[in-house]
Chains A and B, each alone.
Chain A
Amino acid sequence: MDGLYNLFTVGFATALTPMNLLWALVGCTLGTAIGVLPGVGPAVTVALLLPVTQSIDPTGALIMLAGVYYGAMFGGSTTSILLNTPGEAGSIVSALEGNKMAKAGRGGPALSTAAIGSFVAGSIATVLLTVLAPLIATLTLKLGPVEMFALMVLTFAAVSAVLGNSPLKGVISLLIGLAIGLIGIEQQSGQARFTFGSAALLDGIDIVVIAMGLFAIGETLYTATYENHLKARVESLAGRFWMSKEDWRRSWKPWLRGTAIGFPFGTIPAGGTEMPTFLSYSAERKLAPPEVQKEFGKGAIEGVAGPEAANNAAVTGTLIPLLTLGIPTSATAAIMLAAFQQYNIAPGPLLFDTNPELVWGLIASLYIGNVMLLILNLPLVGLWVQLLKVPRPLLYGGIVVLATMGAYALRQNWFDLLLLYIVGLMGFVMRRYDFPVVPLIVGLIVGPMAEKFFRRAMSINQGDLTVFLTHPVSLSLLIITLAILIVPTYLKRRQNYLNKP
């Protein structure tokens, strides 16, 4: 409770000056505006706006950056939902259901549930951060490669929920994702694999290029080839902007579940923000009542609400190891660290003692940034949705330009554009023959991590496989995995058995 006391006496007193409120507003606005550009994720947005903060005092600057951070996160989901161009790994899942909703004229509710979900998750996570930061930080440090690998196994088990109609096609999609994930330098041995002598492949293929290719380019090619005659479909887009009572009823649980999944992931070193979005998505899909389950794949609001909350909770979670231990667990946290250093402040165990105003000011500003973002963006939802009224050829032209820019801007290599096109062709074929895309993305994200942690665990323990069973956390995770795989089949059999006359 010490945290709460400090928050109100020091934190809000610092953050709630008109000047600092203004910085929060400027930050949120700039963050949203720039975060909308694909390929320019939250990390790059913060990095690019760092120079702007140089002329402001430290507290004001950090408050502004927190706003930029949140704004960029939200901006990323906007393009993902409306245009099917997920510009960063964390918002890929939002595109799955979100874009289907947008196409069905429910872009407004999709954006609203994303914004409010982010707000709810961000606020809850910030409260947890305020109260529990040091405790959580010490706990998560105990999670080593052994536990992480067990967590990956659990994630793979959850894939079974999203394999689609044909399990065979789902597995092929997963294997292709895993295969693409292998490209590049293998961390443990420093050896290049499947690079075919090309230097551009040494760092592997960027997830953003894959996501943009599969979604944006693949869809454009598909539309051009097969759906030009279906022009009428665009007109139904006006729709309602605001969430209906039904939408609220269906959103609040996914928000909370998403938060519960995302926050711990953020605090784990190397947990990342993509994995929880995916876990949340499969959880929502599994937990949904049968009539909602049918909606998945066609625009279920749960599939946007959950992952968006998970994503934002994870982002706030990453601040715990950053502030308490000086450990950046995500690219954006690393940039925030750089921002701290600009003011000669070293985050870490001593920060809470040496710079209390700053830390508590920052934490208070997280609350303010959250509120600010909601105030700023909810009215904008209506405006964003108007984007879909752009004539269809131009809309797709714009989407493709944004996608190519996202793939090109940071590395400036035409090779990435070629990859984008090839992946686009793949997406085209997958869509034509009804191969699910999610397993591919999961394989691509989780595969390399699983291999890395497995090899690391084995290396540290010198090849002793029993460690996965002797470490209690790992053992419990594996038991949960087994339960996920076995229980549903058992229940189904029992049901069948009981139903028999």
Chain B
Amino acid sequence: MKRLPRLIATCLLALAPLSLTHAEIDQFKIMAPANPGGGWDTIARTLGDALKANGQAKNVVVENKAGAGGTIGMAQFINNEKGNPNALLVAGAITVGAIETNKSPVNFTMVAPIARLMGEYDVVVVPENSPYKTLTELMDAVKKDPGSVSFGGGSAGGVDHIIAGLMAEKVGVEGAKVNYIPFAGGGEGKAAILGGQVTAYLSGYGELTDLISAKKVRALGISSDKKLDGVDIPTLKEQGVDVVLANWRAVFGAPDIKDEEKAALIKLVEEAVKSPTWQDKAKASQWTDMMLTGDDFKKFLEEEQKVTAETLKKLKIGG
């Protein structure tokens, strides 16, 4: 009968991480503009855990406020956290597009860019029994009759759509001519490509790894600049379709924070992502490290906004 106390003890231990949130008033806030369980929420909670594990923050509060590609959470962050040096907002490539298409009243000039953390490159896949063996064959078909090649991917105007549009432009077909089929959430889209409902499908590499390695789909290209370590997929660029784009995620500081507070936040985030908590999660979820901070990140962001706005105009999204 020695086992019973041990059982109870394990049980209590398992619950312990939850009760920790009660601690101090001195707290750090992370706004995840999405529902619990989503991509941004995972970033926010992992970052929060890392900050706690590192002893950098005693208490981290993750606020969830989903909606409109993250712009609703962003608006609240801008209104409520003005000047708060202990608050971060999670956002990403999706937000850039959403601000553009939804004619959002808030934008990235209202927050302080801190760091781009990680991201994912897109892969273009076709079903294993598809007649298209290479990217060139696929793009030739697009050139001949763009309507007959349907591209599946995430929401209209999102990263996948932009990549598909850019790919068409690179082979001389108008972006708006791409027969793009948006799918909400990865599940439906993956089913559509496995069932052969769409000709090709674009999604983050992490989401398709298992299907690629099980030979259920064939990867024709990846949207990175150079081949990735340990990933045997040629880049779009090296196959003559010069498109380099990632679905990145980043954190931003509150409006009106001082320069030294900004620097402190950058340092805080840099340290947090070195922690085993973050690293383990990154490995498990196959995130590509895309750490970029301060002015470099700001420059990248401006460039990204320009490209996105131009492409969306060409795709005739949000008109």
Contact = CB atoms under 8 A, between A and B. Distances in A.
Interface of A: 18-19, 22, 26, 43-44, 46-48, 50-56, 140-145, 185, 187-192, 199-200, 202-203, 269-270, 321, 325-331, 333-335, 338, 341-344, 346-350, 410-413, 456, 459-460, 462
Contacts of B156: 185, 187-190
A327 B150 contact: no
Contact of B67 (A141, A411, A459, A460): A411
A143 B195 contact: yes
A141 B211 CA distance: 14
A348 B214 contact: yes
A52 B71 CA distance: 30
Interface in B196-244: 197-198, 209-211, 213-214, 216
A92 B91 CA distance: 34
Contacts of B45: 51
B66 A410 contact: yes
A26 B76 CA distance: 37
Given A47-B36, A270-B191, A456 B181 contact: yes
Contacts of A200: 67-68, 72
A270 B152 CA distance: 15
Contacts of B276: none
Contact of B147 (A44, A141, A341, A462): A462
Nearest to A61: B14
Contacts of B10: 19
A327 B68 contact: no
Given A47-B41, A187-B156, 9 more contacts: A19-B7, A55-B13, A144-B195, A187-B182, A341-B285, A344-B284, A410-B36, A460-B179, A462-B147
A1 B41 CA distance: 41
Contacts of B65: 411-413
Nearest to A30: B15
Contacts, number: 171
A321 B191 contact: yes
B191 A329 contact: yes
Nearest to B35: A410
B129 to A, nearest CB: 13
A165 B101 CA distance: 45
Contacts of B105: 199
10 contacts: A44-B37, A144-B197, A190-B317, A199-B67, A199-B71, A321-B187, A325-B211, A342-B284, A348-B210, A411-B67
Contact of B18 (A52, A343, A413): A52
A327 B185 CA distance: 10
Contacts of A462: 147-148, 179
Interface string B162-189: 0000000000000000010110111110
B94 to A, nearest CB: 12
Contacts of B318: 190-192
Could you say which of B35, B104, B148 has the most chain A C-beta atoms within 10 Å of its C-beta?
B35
B102 A145 contact: no
Given A52-B15, A187-B156, A270-B188, A199 B36 contact: no
Interface in B121-154: 147-148, 150
A46 B37 CA distance: 9
A203 B195 contact: no
B7 to A, nearest CB: 6
Given A187-B184, A188-B182, A269 B192 contact: yes
Contact of A199 (B18, B68, B155): B68
3 nearest CB pairs, A to B: A190-B156, A348-B210, A269-B191
Contacts of B67: 199-200, 202-203, 411, 413
A48 to B, nearest CB: 6
Contacts of A326: 190, 210-211
